[in-house]
Structure 1
Amino acid sequence: MEMNGGYAAFFTRAGIPVVHMSYLDDVMRKLSSVAFPVKHTQYDTFQRLQDHFDPELKVRGFEGVHARVAQVAGELVRDLADSLFLPFNLLDYAQLLRDLYFSLHIHMGSLGHGLDLNSRHAFAAVVRRHIVLSPAESPAYVDEMFPGITDEFMRFLDQLGAPEDLRPHAATLHKHYHLLVQTLVQAADSLAEVVPPQATPSHATPTSATPTS
């Protein structure tokens, strides 16, 4: 996941699961890298895409690329809606977005009137990052772990051999590992509620290993 994606706010602030899909061309480059000047603007609509950029929903010789992506995404949502482990309720999703919108308007609406929209620094504020779901700040090839652990570990490695005190980094790593263990335990407890324990066959009898010389 990229922090500059239009979906970043959904999983970093609201904790809403996000999936990023794209097709690859013959030279293994993402089709999403094709120039799309209206991306992340109010003009980034399906109608404009179809009228000006991809009239037949085909890109670089691929038959129906956009249609295929929509079909895969639709099937994924349908599968998650029936999933025992990760149920996806579209009504709950819409209600959550609506509640977040009204909450944002109530608590932050007045702040917008005090911003100088002509200043490039108007929106330069600290953004709280989700401890589990956000992408790491480190290079893409090391972002397979939890972002907090990855980023702090990279800072720790950068300071090795330097005169700076490494104990603050170690303390931060300890905090993130504690959260990691807590998250795994909670996930295991959630699975235990829907996955019955494996029953021992009635004909099976416990055996003990006999040491040999």
Structure 2
Amino acid sequence: MRILIVEDDAVLADGLVVGLRLKGFTPEPVRTLADARAALETSDFAAVVLDLMLPDGSGLDLLKALRANGIGTPVLLLTARDQTRDRVDGLDAGADDYLGKPFDLDELSARLRAILRRREGRAAPVIQWNGLVLDPAAQSGAFHGTDIRFSRREFAVLHALIERPGHILSKSRIEDRLYGWQEDVESNTIEVHIHHLRAKLGRGYIETVRGLGYRLAPEGGPRACP
């Protein structure tokens, strides 16, 4: 999942990028409100991790603008301003969660997973479909009761598909979810991931919808492609 990191401290931002990537996220860092606005106008993000004190203003202004424009992207405020009044103001302005600095990366990751679960309309920490069980916290999976090892990218592809198993995801949409702005993506990368997943789950588990993308087969087995 692509996460926008709005943080002007370069060392902290770099640490967040490395740490969140290991937790299965695709973090994109920016350092100013202007860059954050530009990123949100041109790209889709699953969530935003937002500092309040930025070189060109307050992150609270960005949050209020998002909500005023009807944009419901989950926002987690991550800031050194951690007094009760600050937390209340942030949450009342539309933040989904609030975490003070210093913080623990495991807690930040858990809070991000929690707000993403709420956005997806589910409460359980694991996701299940047609014999497959994915645990985003552990980045692990099982298929009909047997543990299966997935690479980080394979897991991300499955996670994207299982969130809405009846819907088709285009190749470009999957690429956007898996890869950052500065990462080179080979033209057949997604096809390779799909090939490896089919080898582990069965050829019919992930369907190719010609000209459109991919979807998980319905419960009970694959269906004919349109």
* TM-score normalised according to structure 2 size: 0.27
* TM-score normalised according to structure 1 size: 0.28
Write 1 or 2 for the structure with the bigger share of helix: 1
